[in-house]
Structure 1
Amino acid sequence: MRHLLRSLAPGILVLTLLVLTACQSTATPAQTSTPKATPSPPRPTPTPTPFVTPTSALGLDTEDLRGTAIEVWHPWFGAEASLLESQIADFNASNPWGITVHATSKGNYTSILYNASAAIVGLEKDRPDVVVALPEYALTWDADGGVIDLTPYITDAVYGITAAERMDFPAVFWSQDMIGERRLGMPAQRNGRFLFYNQTWARELGFETPPGTPQEFREQACAANRAMRNDDDPSNDGQGGWIVDTHPMTIYAWLLAFGGGPLQDGNYRFLTPNNIAAFTFLRQLAEDNCAWVSTEETPYAQFASRKALFATGDLGDLPDQMRAFAQASNGDEWTVIPFPGTEGGVVPVYGSSFVLLQTDERRQLAAWLFMRWLLSPEKQAQWVQTTGLFPLRASSLALLTGYRNDHPQWNNAIALLPNGYPQPQLASWHTVRYVLGDAATHIFRVGVGSGQVSAVLAQMDALVSDITDER
């Protein structure tokens, strides 16, 4: 618009001058006496609004933070750990508060859980200030009094983040760590699980759009299997549809797609009509050869060689799947789609959070300021380029134009975030989620009939009751 105004400005100026010139060229009117102007009363001088310096409600000045050292525990290794160390070095060298950050990798999330739990109850000498952990871990630690509510830090007039900045976090990320009115963490990483879909092959089978419902998914998967059975190779007659995937997040997605899920009225409940419908649907796909169990460790090569119309994976799988298509010299167009549901698509969203542990006021504020700095759009763009996971800030996308162009499937995945579903907010979820995967593995590999899925769901309820002691 500014360019448009610039281009029009000379024309507008000329037109204005022409109008003024035309007015001046009319006949000269008869001379009349000029009346004296009546003086206007003086306008009162507006009183300037005094500038009010924001005051922190946290009771600490910036000078109070100088020399503060904090410890961060994380589960990362390799490229992720290297990036974090690089960003920490940048923060230590440039932050205006004189804060020093040190990071320690615990290697995996299980080690994070055990070590941080021990530190919180006093079994370890040193307690970290920030832990990168699964959100359900924070619920366990909060029950032990070890987690600090981040709300006062986020809303602080001096050290917090603005309402606009909070809106920059997608809702499915922002809501995961909110428990009632308390915030037990900030998103550190977020991933999503998707169906991989061969668009070129689907069009050859007569389908112009991805499936939008479970029934449409079945139609396309079964059509791919029919194509296999109609070719000259009898060894592939059981292939062509969906490569069965029993990852807990895949099963979680299918339950949600049928309007079910692991919870009913806030408690675990698997034996429900919607969950029965979901498990029956999946088992019948296999019974009708529209889904098949692969013996390969990953589905990349099979999906790239048209042995399946659908596969399953997360954002971290996209680079490997792209390489598999290149290695197969397959120019098929493929993309990611949500799990088709009865009331819309489903993308399960999951990942780790920054959890602030209770130490002292100076260390807690210093830790929050490091978290805030790490969550800036610029730093988040660096994390995307290293990990390929979701950007935690929408404004980071403006810094990722090249990455989006080079990774079209990733770019399509970002557009599916409105279909995102968070994880159950129960401390026991880190254990219970594996029950979903184990049950699905049992159904597909043991050969449980579709008419027996209710019994499997009942067994899941009994097992979860034993695990959680909630019933």
Structure 2
Amino acid sequence: MNANRMWMLAALMVAALVLAACPAPAAQAPAAMEEEAPAEAPMDTGPCAPAADGPLAGIDPRGQTIVWWHQHSGSREEKLAVIVEDFNTNNECGIVLDAQNQGGYNDIRDKVNASTASGEQPASLIVGYQNDQAFYQLNEVLADFDKFIDDPTWGLSAEEREDFFASFIEQGVHPVFDGQRLGFPPNRSMEVLYYNLTWLEELGFDGPPSTPAEFEEMACAAAEANGDGTGGYILRDDASATASWTFALGGDVLNEDNTGYVYNGQATIDAMTMLKRMLDNGCAYFFTEGYPNPEFAARRASFTQGSSSGLPFYANDMVTIAEEQGRDMDVWGVTAIPHTTENPVQNIYGADVMITAGPPEQELAAWLFIKWFTSPEVQARWVEASNYFPTRAGTEAHLTGYVEENPQYGEALALLGYGAYEPQLISYQAVRDAAETAFNEIMQGADIQATLDALTETANELQEELMGEVQ
């Protein structure tokens, strides 16, 4: 091997050793993967989607089945079923309302109390009077409507709320339960005075009475014309009649803060004094053998007092008895209870619907049915099915044809803006019985002031006793 080759071989060996000793270049780290933010769930904006904010945010009413215990029967129940089917078919929330007749108000009260005693929720929707609401709330059975009414998504607009007659929507507010609104008015009835216009004109009067003095004069004239103890005014001894006369004479049977009773005010004294005088003078009489409408239709009474819900029965009897007697039917109507106030003050009453405390989704679904059922267009359908009065002024625009066909209904409808209401206190059912007893004692000759003083004391004792359970 020559020297040149030896030198090249040595150089190659050295180079190899140098390369082996040098560290290999560091492998380049792969670029860091950028973390992707989790995809946001798409906002639910479909029909009846839960509210995004407000007290009822996140509550989903869709697909709920709601049971309603009600008292409607016969043709009224059949017509109600048609309205309910409309809701079930067309509401965008997919809510199903199951409307169930449970008998009368007493039957519903018994069922609610039985459910409560067993620790079960009653039906999501129930019906009853304002004193029922107070009784149920002793056990916190009911939801407060204000959380629905005031909700920015599901509630009533200011315009919608103002459309309800104030006395109707305030009737379910309970001062003794911290002002909770425990009922909502789907319909109402009114105490009215039924009068026979044809007969009054024959007796020389131009129209129905507007004051108590005119009323007494006309009733006495009709009684004198009959001459047999009939012809005047048929007395009513129940608490609603007593309240009606008290309102009409400028008083109230509740104290100023609506927490107790005042049956011994001057207006009630004046009303009892007038009615007792009319009884003694033969200008008023008791009729206890049935309903008063046949007596009225047969001219055995020039005036009767009763619920506006009786209008169809009066209309039927007026036609039937005129045909039986072979004469033209008398012209008749309804008017305000004769009053001493500048404007009428009418006793408006009726059961409310109540939402029972339960799952929030059920409560909201129940409210959405009530909101729909009390809309003017639907209320108009319910008026024609039931002959009840609407609870919203805007409903009247949808009743033009019905009023033309039922003029007496129209007379009463015009009085809805003058409403007052009876006590919603928990004791009122028992107090009603006491008021009826007191009325009959007065008509039998008991001292008016002393009897009404005793009634007031008894009524407030009953209230205090029952409210003791709340404390």
Task: Give 1:146 deviation, angstroms.
Answer: 2.1
Q: Residue 352 of structure 1 aligns with which residue?
A: 351
1:186 partner SS: coil
Rounded to whole Å, the distance in 2 between the matches of 1:163 and 1:55 is 21
Please state if 1:155 is matched with 2:146: no
Match of 1:146 among 141, 148, 163: 141
Rounded to whole Å, the distance in 2 between the matches of 1:372 and 1:273 is 41
Q: How does 1:331-350 map to 2 (within 5 A)?
A: 331-343=329-341, 344-350=343-349
Rounded to whole Å, the distance in 2 between the matches of 1:368 and 1:65 is 10
Residues 374 and 56 of structure 1: is their aligned pair in 2 closer, same or farther, counting only changes over 3 Å? farther
Residues 459 and 179 of structure 1: is their aligned pair in 2 closer, same or farther, counting only changes over 3 Å? closer
Match of 1:114 among 110, 114, 120: 110
Q: Residue 43 of structure 1 aligns with which residue?
A: none
Task: Give 1:310 deviation, angstroms.
Answer: 0.8
Rounded to whole Å, the distance in 2 between the matches of 1:455 and 1:170 is 37
Q: Residue 417 of structure 1 aligns with which residue?
A: 416
Task: Give 1:462 deviation, angstroms.
Answer: 4.7
Rounded to whole Å, the distance in 2 between the matches of 1:224 and 1:72 is 47
Task: Give 1:276 deviation, angstroms.
Answer: 2.1
2:354 partner SS: strand
Task: Give 1:134 deviation, angstroms.
Answer: 0.9
Matched letter for residue 363 of structure 1? Q
Deviations 1:410-457 (A, max 9, x none): 11000111232112231212331232233323444xx326xx223332
Rounded to whole Å, the distance in 2 between the matches of 1:438 and 1:228 is 30
* Contact 1:350 1:422 (C-alpha < 8 Å) held by counterparts: yes
Rounded to whole Å, the distance in 1 between the matches of 2:351 and 2:80 is 14
1:160 partner SS: coil
Q: Residue 23 of structure 1 aligns with which residue?
A: none
* Contact 1:147 1:357 (C-alpha < 8 Å) held by counterparts: yes
Q: Residue 95 of structure 1 aligns with which residue?
A: 91
Please state if 1:194 is matched with 2:207: no
* Contact 2:192 2:306 (C-alpha < 8 Å) held by counterparts: yes
Rounded to whole Å, the distance in 2 between the matches of 1:378 and 1:273 is 43
Deviations 1:272-316 (A, max 9, x none): 333222211110101011112224311222212222221112122
* Contact 1:195 1:337 (C-alpha < 8 Å) held by counterparts: yes
* Contact 2:193 2:306 (C-alpha < 8 Å) held by counterparts: yes
Match of 1:448 among 441, 445, 450: 445
Q: Residue 68 of structure 1 aligns with which residue?
A: 64
Match of 1:81 among 63, 72, 77: 77
Structure 1 range deviating more: 400-409 or 68-77: 68-77
Rounded to whole Å, the distance in 1 between the matches of 2:402 and 2:146 is 33
Match of 1:212 among 205, 210, 213: 210
* Contact 1:56 1:156 (C-alpha < 8 Å) held by counterparts: no
Q: Residue 227 of structure 1 aligns with which residue?
A: 225
* Contact 2:203 2:221 (C-alpha < 8 Å) held by counterparts: yes
Q: What fraction of aligned residue pairs are identical, expressed as a percent?
A: 33
Q: Which runs of 5+ in 2 are unaligned?
A: 1-48, 323-327
Matched letter for residue 153 of structure 1? F
Rounded to whole Å, the distance in 1 between the matches of 2:333 and 2:281 is 25
Task: Give 1:55 deviation, angstroms.
Answer: 4.7
Q: Residue 15 of structure 1 aligns with which residue?
A: none
RMSD of Structure 2 on Structure 1 (CA): 2.4
Please state if 1:323 is matched with 2:316: yes
* Contact 2:56 2:151 (C-alpha < 8 Å) held by counterparts: no
Deviations 1:193-219 (A, max 9, x none): 111011222222222132222112111
Q: Residue 262 of structure 1 aligns with which residue?
A: 253
Normalising by structure 1, what TM-score? 0.80
Rounded to whole Å, the distance in 1 between the matches of 2:301 and 2:363 is 51
* Contact 1:340 1:346 (C-alpha < 8 Å) held by counterparts: no
Rounded to whole Å, the distance in 1 between the matches of 2:288 and 2:146 is 48
Please state if 1:57 is matched with 2:50: no
Task: Give 1:263 deviation, angstroms.
Answer: 2.4
Matched letter for residue 245 of structure 2? W
Rounded to whole Å, the distance in 1 between the matches of 2:93 and 2:161 is 23
Rounded to whole Å, the distance in 2 between the matches of 1:357 and 1:371 is 13
Matched letter for residue 115 of structure 2? A
Q: Which runs of 5+ in 1 are unaligned?
A: 1-52, 230-235
Normalising by structure 2, what TM-score? 0.80
Match of 2:305 among 299, 312, 325: 312
Q: Residue 129 of structure 1 aligns with which residue?
A: 124
* Contact 1:271 1:454 (C-alpha < 8 Å) held by counterparts: yes
Rounded to whole Å, the distance in 2 between the matches of 1:272 and 1:164 is 37
Matched residue pairs, number? 406
Residues 392 and 467 of structure 1: is their aligned pair in 2 closer, same or farther, counting only changes over 3 Å? same
Matched letter for residue 133 of structure 2? A
1:196 partner SS: strand
Rounded to whole Å, the distance in 2 between the matches of 1:130 and 1:382 is 20
Task: Give 1:176 deviation, angstroms.
Answer: 0.8
1:328 partner SS: helix
